[in-house]
């Protein structure tokens, strides 16, 4: 059968299927029958028209039906079981040297904390703070040294402790991106703190009581921190030792392994938080029961993370070669704007665009931040140290985000809000112009100042709410707002820029185009990445970095405070503009993907050409 005849014979059926997929209610049985019909057509097209557009069209249609049928079965139980029984133990075996090094770093720094406490009796106050030391001394004198674990309700304590421990472990693992240096510093800091903490109770004669109480949860908690250190060392090893891979490829492999190790300790951290909130408070429990509980926890950690990987490696019972099979290819080809893409592919294309246009990214981000800092500090009515304040909220790892809310306007810097609008307009235009450079010349929209101004309008609608969420609610809530709203607004801006200049028509078009699952996934990925970068400004590493370059600061009164404020403001500004730029880029890329899902424009153009090309004896020319 000729291709044109095949299309004419089935075109009405395919149109009915597309119409059904656009409906809200779908009959699963009918979808299953349609899937069988489409796969039959696809098999026929694959056999007789392997290089024609109709095969691609049917393949996309079959994928859409498949995802509608199996939407709730994207993560099968078998894959989850294999992760815990095979994949994670194998990664731990491959990273056994990193685990040993993390353990050695912790023991070494633990010893530093003990020795420093013996030499300097006030060392515990330096590490733990005066308030905690004074409170614990009062509890020891009252005969109840573990009273701190009874002050709050078990449920609230469990939630707060678990959240804090998760952030500490994530920070330890994620800072492996700094060639493992960040992880090493955090492990040294944690070990010194634990050593000083434990010696404090030894020094005051309550070691055994503190050991039986603290290590009920501390066994799992400290083990998780050590394993998180191993995750960070594994993640950064690709940059230091790429082997036969390109450095970027090796980093992708090791970063993925490090994140999988972190996922593996999440249940342990949650369980440790439960123990600390509900069990540690019972200090009257007989000692042998608490000791048995501690050694049972230690046995489990050693069994699962040390012995099981060793045993499976010795008996060769690992599933063969899964570690590197998902290594993405080196991307040198142009970005495809005519295909349907996953969240990961859109995110990857966003970074590809950033790398290919460094003037838009690196130079643009630093130039925008420099302009913002110059305006903010140059026109401020107060000193630099008082222009922006980053509050210190105890036990909240993202308190610096609350200070970022002042970047959108405060009482000491006139006109800052409107200046931010100008800066974010430039960032938005730079993002869309970078995407234009990747599009074929014939398909690029005509550059118009009106197009630029209108495309910025949707994103500026979020600025007041985003600023209020950061400054008055909490930094984390403000970022959650951006995760939920930014993907939609960035898609709206892309529709205005690339398709229609009418904002209201573009809004209706955006509502028809958007797929909330992929859009929220993009917002979540961009937001998490931004939060992880902001975690760097919350870490001791940033304090050390400020201290390292503080010798450039002149010895004038208030100079150090001004230096710390300006440096932190500039770093936070770069991260904020980077998040905005990446979100706009992903919004533009998701526009092209969603447009293909909704319209299949490129496929229809190719299908319209069927029968119009030159033929050789009745057959369409390839």
* 8 A C-beta contact, residue 28 and residue 71: no
H/E element holding 595? helix 559-599
Cβ contact 393:402 at 8 Å? yes
Confidence category of residue 622, pLDDT binned at 50, 70, 90: very low
Task: Name which residue leads in pLDDT, 12 or 102.
Answer: 102
The whole-number average pLDDT for the span 248-270 is: 88
- Does residue 523 have a pLDDT over 90? no
- Residues in a beta bridge with 619: 616
Higher per-residue pLDDT: 28 or 58: 58
Give the three-state DSSP class for 615. Answer: strand
Helices (H), ranges, 329-387: 343-356, 364-378, 384-387
Confidence of residue 616 (pLDDT cuts 50, 70, 90): very low
- Lowest mean pLDDT segment, chosen from 40-44, 356-360, 546-550: 546-550
2-16, 63-77, 163-177, 211-225: least confidently modelled range: 63-77
Amino acid 617: pLDDT: 45
The strand pairing partners of 615, in sequence order, are 620
The per-residue DSSP string of 93-134 comes to: HHTHHHHHHHHHHHHHHHHHHHHHHHH-TTHHHHHH-HHHHH
- Does 499 score more than 60 pLDDT? yes
Instruction: Report residue 389's pLDDT band, with 50, 70 and 90 as the boundaries.
Output: low
pLDDT value of residue 441: 66
- Does pLDDT of 73 surpass 50? no
603, pLDDT greater than 50? yes
- Residue 508's φ and ψ, nearest 5 degrees, are -65, -40
Q: What is the DSSP letter of 347?
A: H
End-to-end CA distance of the chain: 16
> pLDDT class for 37, splitting at 50, 70, 90?
confident
Q: What confidence score (pLDDT) does residue 451 get?
A: 73
Measured CA distances, 24 to 27, 68, 302 (Å): 10, 11, 51
- The three state secondary structure string of 137-169 is HHHHHCCCCCHHHHCCCHHHHHHHHHHHHHHHH
Kindly list the domain boundaries of the chain, sorted by start residue: 3-73, 100-314, 343-606
For residues 230 and 101, give the distance between their C-alpha atoms in angstroms, rounded to a whole number.
7
Q: What is the DSSP letter of 407?
A: G
Instruction: Give yes or no for a contact between 285 and 247, defined as CB atoms under 8 angstroms apart.
Output: no
Helix (H) or strand (E) holding 261: helix 247-278
What's the distance, CA 89 to chain centroid?
24
Distance CA 474, CA 397 (A): 11
CA distance 586 to 582: 6
Give the torsion through C-alpha atoms of 40, 41, 47, 53, to 10 deg: -150
Model confidence at 23, pLDDT cuts 50, 70, 90, reads: low
Neighbours of 381 (CB within 10 A): 10
Residue pair 579/527 in contact by the 8 Å Cβ criterion:
yes
Q: E strands of 362-485, at which residues?
A: none
How many angstroms separate the CA atoms of 568 and 547, rounded? 12
**Mean pLDDT calculated for residue range 431-451:** 74
| Residue 408 near residue 423, CB atoms below 8 Å | no
Contact between 586 and 526 (Cβ < 8 Å): yes
Tens-place pLDDT, residues 262-300: 999 999 999 998 888 888 877 778 888 889 999 999 999
Confidence of residue 500 (pLDDT cuts 50, 70, 90): confident
Residue 332 has pLDDT above 70, yes or no: no
Tokens for 23, please give them: 């409906």
- Tell me the average pLDDT across 407-412: 76
pLDDT above 70 coverage of the chain, percent: 79
Q: Nearest-CA neighbor of 391 among 526, 549, 246, 568?
A: 568
CA 52 to chain centre: 39
pLDDT of residue 615: 46
**Top-ranked range on mean pLDDT: pick from 68-72, 325-329, 400-404, 504-508:** 504-508
Q: How many residues does the chain have?
A: 622
Nearest to 210 by CA among 118, 131, 148, 146: 146
| Cα angle: 596, vertex 53, 437; to 5 degrees | 50
Q: Dihedral of CA 546/550/553/555: which sign?
A: positive
Alpha-helical (H) ranges within 23-52 are 28-48
CB neighbours of residue 447 within 10 Å: 11
Query: Which one, of 165, 183, 163, lies nearest residue 173 by Cα?
Result: 183
**Phi, psi (degrees; rounded to nearest 5) at 157:** -65, -40
Residue 619 confidence (pLDDT): 44
- The tokens for 190 are 């944690």
Which among 85, 82, 36, 88 has a CA at the least distance from the CA of 62? 36
404 Cβ contact list (under 8 Å, min separation 6): 470, 475, 572, 576
Instruction: Give the CA-trace dihedral at 144, 146, 151, 153, to 10 degrees.
Output: -130
Euclidean distance between CA atoms 436 and 383, whole angstroms: 42
């Amino acid at each position: 059968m000729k291709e044109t005849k095949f299309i004419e014979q089935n075109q009405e059926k395919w149109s009915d299927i597309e119409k059904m997929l656009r409906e809200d209610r779908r009959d699963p049985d009918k979808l299953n029958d349609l899937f069988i019909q489409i796969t039959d057509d696809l098999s026929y097209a694959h056999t007789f028209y392997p290089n024609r557009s109709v095969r691609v069209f049917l393949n996309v249609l079959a994928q859409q039906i498949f995802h509608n049928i199996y939407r709730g079965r994207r993560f099968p139980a078998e894959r989850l079981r294999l992760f815990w029984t095979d994949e994670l133990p194998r990664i731990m075996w491959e990273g056994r040297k990193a685990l040993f090094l993390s353990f050695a770093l912790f023991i070494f720094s633990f010893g530093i904390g003990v020795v420093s406490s013996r030499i300097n009796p006030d060392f515990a106050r330096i590490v733990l703070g005066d308030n905690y030391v004074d409170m614990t001394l009062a509890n020891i004198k009252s005969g109840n040294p573990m009273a701190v674990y009874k002050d709050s309700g078990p449920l609230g304590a469990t939630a707060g402790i678990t959240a804090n421990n998760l952030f500490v472990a994530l920070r330890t693992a994620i800072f492996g991106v700094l060639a493992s240096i960040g992880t090493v510093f955090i492990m040294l800091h944690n070990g010194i703190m634990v050593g000083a903490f434990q010696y404090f109770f030894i020094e005051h004669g309550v070691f055994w009581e503190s050991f039986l109480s603290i290590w009920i949860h501390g066994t799992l908690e400290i083990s998780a921190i050590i394993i998180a250190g191993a995750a960070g060392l594994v993640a950064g090893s690709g940059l230091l030792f790429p082997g036969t891979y390109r450095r970027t490829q090796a980093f992708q492999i090791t970063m993925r392994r490090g994140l999988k190790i972190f996922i593996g300790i999440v249940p342990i951290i949650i369980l440790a938080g439960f123990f600390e909130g509900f069990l540690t408070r019972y200090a009257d429990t007989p000692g042998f029961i608490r000791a048995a509980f501690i050694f049972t926890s230690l046995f489990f950690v050693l069994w699962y993370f040390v012995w099981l990987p060793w045993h499976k490696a010795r008996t060769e019972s690992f599933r063969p070669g899964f570690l590197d099979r998902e290594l993405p290819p080196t991307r040198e080809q142009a970005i495809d704007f005519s295909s349907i893409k996953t969240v990961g592919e859109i995110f990857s294309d966003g970074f590809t665009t950033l790398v290919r246009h460094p003037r838009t990214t690196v130079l643009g981000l630093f130039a925008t931040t420099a302009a913002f800092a110059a305006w903010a500090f140059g026109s401020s009515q107060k000193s630099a140290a008082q222009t922006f304040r980053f509050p210190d909220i105890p036990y909240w790892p993202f308190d610096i985000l609350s200070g970022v809310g002042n970047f959108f306007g405060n009482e000491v810097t006139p006109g800052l809000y409107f200046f931010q609008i100008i800066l974010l307009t430039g960032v938005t235009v730079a993002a869309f112009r970078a995407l234009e450079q990747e599009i074929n010349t014939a398909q690029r929209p005509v550059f118009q100042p009106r197009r630029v101004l209108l495309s910025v309008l949707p994103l500026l609608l979020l600025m007041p709410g985003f600023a209020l969420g950061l400054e008055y609610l909490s930094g984390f809530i403000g970022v959650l707002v951006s995760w939920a709203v930014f993907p939609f607004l960035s898609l709206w801006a892309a529709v205005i820029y690339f398709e229609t200049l009418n904002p209201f028509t573009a809004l209706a078009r955006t509502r028809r185009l958007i797929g909330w699952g992929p859009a929220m996934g993009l917002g979540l990925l961009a937001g998490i990445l931004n939060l992880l970068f902001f975690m760097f400004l919350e870490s001791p590493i940033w304090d050390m970095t400020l201290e390292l370059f503080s010798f450039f600061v002149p010895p004038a009164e208030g100079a150090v405070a001004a230096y710390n404020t300006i440096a932190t403001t500039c770093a936070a500004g770069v991260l904020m503009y980077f998040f905005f730029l990446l979100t706009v880029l992903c919004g533009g890329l998701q526009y092209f993907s969603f447009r293909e899902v909704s319209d299949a424009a490129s496929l229809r153009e190719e299908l319209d050409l069927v029968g119009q090309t030159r033929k050789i004896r009745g057959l369409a020319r390839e």
